[in-house]
Amino acid sequence: MKEVVAPRLATLLRAPRFLEGYPMNNSDLADALAADHGVTKADARKLVDAVFAKIAGAAAQGDEISLNGFGKFKIKDQAAREGRNPSTGATIQIAASKKLTFTPAKAVKDQLNG
């Protein structure tokens, strides 16, 4: 029994989680980049974190972020509105806010839709 379980477990531990149907996270992305480009996992993680920090920083300043072949991140204003407290049914005011939206590029849409 040990001989059958050990190779399967080793295969699962080596395979990136996102290939197994799990959502990809920052570490998975960094691991994939490290493997594809021959850099250390630590350096790849720093680069992944830096890219997302720059995107978040630009969005916080109100800038539109356009990544050719991938898509655009934009800030949209969400107007103040009335809502309801689901437990009491009382009407409440929801404050105006900003939200980050993403519009995929045509190449990404085509890849998703086969």
Q: Where are the domains of the chain?
A: 1-63, 64-114
Compute the mean pLDDT over every residue in the chain, rounded to the nearest whole number: 86
pTM: 0.69
pLDDT digits (tens, 9 = 90+) for 30-73: 999 999 999 999 999 999 999 999 999 999 999 999 999 999 99
Domain 64-114, CATH among 3.40.449.10, 2.60.120.480, 4.10.520.10, 2.60.40.1150: 4.10.520.10
pLDDT digits (tens, 9 = 90+) for 62-110: 999 999 999 999 999 999 999 999 999 999 999 999 999 999 999 999 9
- Residue 59 and residue 46: Cα distance in Å, rounded? 20
